[in-house]
Structure 1
Amino acid sequence: MTITNNEEAMVFADKYKIAKKLAEKNITEAETTFKERQKQNEDWFEKIKNDNQERVDFYKAQLNAYAMTLPQKRLDLPNVLITHGTKQVISYPKDKAKLLEIAKKYSPNAIKTEEKVNWADIKKNLVFSKTGKAISKNGEVVTDIDAWEEEKTNITIR
């Protein structure tokens, strides 16, 4: 279809407006449904994980209790080996700021810094010529950065 006069354009503008509202409504409803189903799936997944972990924990506890009754607190069978020992468990601050304080004081070589680049900060230091070349503050042409104009249509519904 092609618009050939203002009356047809007005009809198309009305249809555009209705289509846009319908699209927003449908997308919102779909997003809500998606989130509800995602929550249901997460709940279902957690239930499956928990039910199966409870079963595993039950059998493990029974075997462990039996092994603890044996003289060496060790169960060595063809299909299972249960031994008991100790391991060191360390509690440390999970808060990054607190951990950083400790590292600064007791282990400065454990502190790692990484290089990061923020495009917005780079862009502030550049000027773009009419030909699209990026120019640094000291006048050098910056390679690998170009700019150009693209057509853009804005439609404002009233």
Structure 2
Amino acid sequence: MDSIENFRGRYEFLSNFYRHTIVGAGGIPYTTNEAAFQAAKTTNLLERCLIAAAPRPEEAKRRGRLITLRPDWDDSGRHIVMRAVLRAKFADPNLSRQLLATGAARLVEGNRWHDDFWGDCRCGQARCARPGRNFLGRYLTQLRTELANR
């Protein structure tokens, strides 16, 4: 297998929408990495709890668009947080084994919702004609290498 082109089906565990509880800052449990990531955008405890209470990851993402951004939430801040929530998720031995089982496959968060930052949109529209930056896939690949070298 040369490449995993989306994080659905057999590879759903790679998605930030995959249900898996991680504990974030302040001891708040989040049911997905998406919720933990969105909540990390703010220092407001009430807003973090509102995101943690979202019934679905899509709702956590929506709520994350409505919060007060922390002062250091810039390009580097979001990368630091994404790597941290991925490490927290894949600290689970079962999930880390699954990630390692992807071998040397290129990991691509292929999507149709125009996310060319964390993934690579394949919607067919002209605005998504160039390959996305795929930071999620890249960070998963880096983490897989770290786990393999332990």
Question: TM-score scaled to structure 2, two decimals?
Answer: 0.16
Structure whose residues are more often helix by fraction: 1
Larger radius of gyration: 1
Identify the structure with bigger relative contact order (alpha carbons < 8 Å, sequence gap 6+): 2
Question: TM-score scaled to structure 1, two decimals?
Answer: 0.15
Structure whose residues are more often strand by fraction: 1
